[in-house]
Amino acid sequence: MTKSKSIVKTPSSTAQPDTIIHWYQRISSWIGVVGIVVGIIVIIVQLILRLYHKTIYITIREKMCSVRGKYVTDDKDTIYMVEDSFWLMFYESAEVFGRLRPGTTYRARVFGKRIPFLGLFPTIRSVAPS
């Protein structure tokens, strides 16, 4: 007759138990990595957007409000948006839009470009009468 050996499994000394503390430590390390990556992305976007700023002189022809936002056109039929920007930490678009008067010329700080297939327009960030 043949004797069979029974295999006894013993817990490994390197295995970690599936406890709440163990999972919290794993998740918290990932949250730190994600936070660093998001921070780097925000800094890069800030730098890129600041490269596309320019100061121009515009004469407002018309102001328009739609579901998508606030728009103005100038005497050259260029359309500009007036909107808040999370990336530039700019939240004064209502005040800027309220100061604009048709027929008046302004020195405007504008960023962005017209990208038709994305529906993007240059955005007015600040204005001052010229």
Q: Would you place residue 86 in the very low, low, confident or very high pLDDT band (cuts 50, 70, 90)?
A: confident
pLDDT above 90 (res 60):
yes
pLDDT value for 119: 84
When pLDDT is averaged across residues 11-39 and rounded to a whole number, the result is 74
Helix (H, G, I), strand (E, B) or coil at 77: coil
Residues 84/93, Cβ–Cβ less than 8 Å: yes
Single-letter amino acid code for the residue at 86: F
Q: Is the pTM of this model over 0.85?
A: no
Q: Is the pLDDT of residue 10 over 90?
A: no
Q: What is the SS3 assignment for 63?
A: strand
Token pair for 7: 């295999």
